[in-house]
Structure 1
Amino acid sequence: MTTTLTPRRSRPPAQPDSLRAKRLPGYAAPALAVLALLVAAGIVYGVDLGGPVLVVVLGALLYLTGLFVAANAVEGRRSARNRFWSALIHSALVLAVLPLASVVWTLVSKGTARLDGDFFGSSMNNIGARDANGGAYHAIVGTLEQVGIATAITVPLGVLCAIYIVEYGRGRFAFTIRFFVDVMTGIPSIVTGLFVLAFWVLIVSPWFNDGQPGFSGFAAALALSVLMLPTVVRSTEEMLRLVPAPLREGAYALGVPKWKTILRVVLPTALPGIVTGIMLSIARAAGETAPVLLVAGGGAAINFNPFENNQSSLALFVYQQAGEASKYSPARAWTAALTLVVLVLVLTVAAKLLARRNRLGR
C-alpha cells in the first residue's frame, strides 16, 4: 500500500513589525504645530505677557510636548523619543534663524528709504539738522580704505604666522605664540583703539606732522589689523591642520622641498577655509566703531588720503546718525547699515568665487 505525501504549505514570511506598527498620520505634526501656536498666542495675548517672540517660544514648547504625548500614545515610547529629539533639533534651527531673518527684514524695510544717488554721491559736509540731503560717500571711502589697508597688513602676517605654528613651530616659542593669539582674540576693540592712540597717534605721528599728533585713516587701519590678526591666525591654523598628512608625505616622497609643498599643496587645499576666516575678520573690522572714533576722529567731509586728517567709516557714520537730533538721521543710519551689510556680503561672495576658481584651476 502506497501513501502519497502532500507537501506542507509554507507560511508566508512574517512582515516586519515596523510595517504593521501604528504611525501618526503625515498631517499630525503640522496640525500640532498650528494648534500649539494658536494656544500660545491665546495664552500670551490673553494674559498680556509679551509679544510674538514669546508666542513662538511657548508654541515650540507646547508643540514638543504635544508631539511626544501623541507619538507615545500611538507609536510607542521609543518612536516618541526619536520624534521628540528630531523636532527639538528642527525647532532650535527655526529659533536660531528667526532673529537673523528679523534683522534682515528690518534692514531691508528701513534701509531702502535713502537708496538714492544723493546718498551714495555726497557727504555730510555743510549738512544741518533740518537738511534732508546728505549721504555716506565719505564714510564708504573711509571704510574701503581702512579695511583694505588693514587686510593688506593682516593677511600676510596671519597666514605666515599660522604656517609657522603648524609646519615649523615646536616647543615653548610656538606655545607662546598660540597663547598670545588666544589672548588677543578676547581683547575689546576699545583697548586696541587706545593702544594705537597712545603709540601711533601720540608718539609716532608727531614725527611726520611737525610735532603735532595727527588722526588718520591709517591709524584706524592699524587698530583694525590688531583686531583681525587673531581671527586670521586661528582660522588659518585650523584649516592647515585639516589638510591630510598623506598629501604632504606624497610631495616629500617625490623630492619636493617643504616650502614648495606648503605653497603648492597645503595652501591650495586649505584655501576655501582660509578665505572664510579672512572674510570673517574683514566683517568684524568693517563693523567696528570705537577704534575709528578714537584714532581717525570721524568727519563730515570726503578724505581720500588715509594718511592725513580725520576720516570716517560706515560703522561710525551709523553711530553718529543714530544719535543726532534730526528726523532725517534715522533713515541715513538705516541705509548706511544696509550698505555696510551688502558691502561685506559682496566681498564675501567675490572672495569665495575667487577661491573656488583658483582651486578648480589647480
Structure 2
Amino acid sequence: MSVSLKRRKTINSIVGIVCTGAALLALFLLASILYTLVARGLPALNLNTLTTTMAPTGENGGLANAIVGSLIQVGIGMLIAIPIGIMAGTYLAEYGKGSKLAEATRFVSDVLLSAPSILVGLFVYTMMVATTKTYSGMAGAVALAVIAIPIIIRTTEDMLNLVPTPMREASAALGAPSYKTVTKITWRAAAAGILTGMLLALARIAGETAPLLFTSLGNLNWSTSLWKPMASLPIAIYQYAASPYEDLVQLAWAGALLITVGVLAINIIAQAVIGRGK
C-alpha cells in the first residue's frame, strides 16, 4: 500500500469518527432535552391543566385558555400565510422568472426568512397595536403569519421548480391555459412538498414567544376575542418559568412539553408526507 493511499484512509477514518461523534453528541443533547421535558412536565400534565384557565399561585390553575389562544392565533396566522405564500411562490416559479419584481420579492422573502422574530413583533406592534391602542389576538396572528409566509414562499418555489418542464409543455401542447397548467399539473405534482412547507411553517410559529409579547401580550382570563389581549402557551411559559412559585414553574414545564409534543408530531407528519411524495 502506497504512503499516500494509507494517509487518505487514515484521514477518512478520522473524519468518520469525528462525524459519528458529533452525531452522537447531537442525539445525546436532544435526548437529554426530551427527557428533562418529560420528567418535569409530565407530572404536571393532567386533566385540570387542560381544562382550567390560568390563575395566580395557590389557586390550582391550568393552561386551558393559553392552549385555546395558541390554537386560535396559530390557526389564523396559517390561514393568512398559506394563500399568500403559495401564490407568491407560484409567481416566482411560474410567471416571474427573470423579472425585477420576482427578484425583489425573492430578496425580501429571504430577508424575512432570516429576520429575528422579535423584529417582526415590533413591526406589527407599530402597525397594529400602537395605532389601535390595544393588544389583540389578531395582532399576534398577523405577526405569526409574517414569520410563516417566507417559509411557505421558499418551499413552494423550490418544489415547483422541481416539476419537470416537459409536464408543462405537454399541458400547453394540449391547449391548456397557464392557470390550468399550474392548478392541474404543477400544483398536483408538487403537492407533497408544498404541504411539507406549510407544516414546517406551522412548527416554526407554534413556539414563537417574542412576537406575541409585542402583540397579543397574554391574558390570565378566558378570552377568545381577536380584538383583546389573548393568552398563548409560549407567553404562559415565559411568565411562569421565572416564577418563584413551584406550582407555576410546573405549569411552565407542562406547557413546554405540550408545545414540544405538538411540534414533534408536526415534523413527523412532514417527514411522512415527504416519504409519500417520493
Alignment-mate amino acid for residue 271 of structure 1: A
Displacement after TM superposition at 1:336 (Å): 0.3
1:299 correspondence with 2:219: yes
Describe how 1:119-130 pairs up with structure 2 within 5 A: 119-124=49-54, 127-130=55-58
Deviations 1:102-161 (CA, angstroms, capped at 9, x unpaired): 21111111110111100000011xx33334x21110110011000000000001001100
CA distance in 2, matches of 1:237, 1:142: 31
Name the Cα RMSD after superposition. Answer: 2.4
1:227 correspondence with 2:147: yes
Describe how 1:173-212 pairs up with structure 2 within 5 A: 173-203=101-131, 205=132
Alignment-mate amino acid for residue 31 of structure 2: A
Match of 2:254 among 322, 331, 335: 335
1:163 correspondence with 2:90: yes
TM-score (norm 1): 0.70
More moved, 266-275 vs 315-324: 266-275
Whether the aligned pair in 2 keeps the contact of 1:129 and 1:325 (CA below 8 Å) is: no
Q: Identity rate of aligned residues, in percent?
A: 37
SS of corresponding position for 1:112 = helix
Q: What 5-or-longer segments of structure 1 have no aligned partner?
A: 1-16, 18-71, 206-212
Whether the aligned pair in 2 keeps the contact of 1:193 and 1:223 (CA below 8 Å) is: yes
CA distance in 2, matches of 1:85, 1:355: 30
CA distance in 2, matches of 1:301, 1:197: 22
CA distance in 1, matches of 2:209, 2:238: 7
Paired residue total: 275
Match of 2:46 among 92, 116, 129: 116
Describe how 1:1-362 pairs up with structure 2 within 5 A: 76-124=6-54, 127-131=55-59, 133-169=60-96, 170-203=98-131, 205=132, 213-305=133-225, 307-349=226-268
Deviations 1:257-277 (CA, angstroms, capped at 9, x unpaired): 221121122112222222222
Alignment-mate amino acid for residue 234 of structure 2: A
CA distance in 2, matches of 1:310, 1:329: 21
TM-score (norm 2): 0.90
Q: Which has the larger radius of gyration?
A: 1
Q: RCO higher in 1 or 2 (8 Å CA, sep ≥ 6)?
A: 2
Deviations 1:64-106 (CA, angstroms, capped at 9, x unpaired): xxxxxxxx9xx95454344333333322322232222221111
Whether the aligned pair in 2 keeps the contact of 1:136 and 1:314 (CA below 8 Å) is: yes
1:256–1:356 CA distance, 2 compared to 1 (3 A): farther
Displacement after TM superposition at 1:324 (Å): 1.5
CA distance in 2, matches of 1:291, 1:89: 36
CA distance in 1, matches of 2:210, 2:22: 34
CA distance in 1, matches of 2:165, 2:19: 35
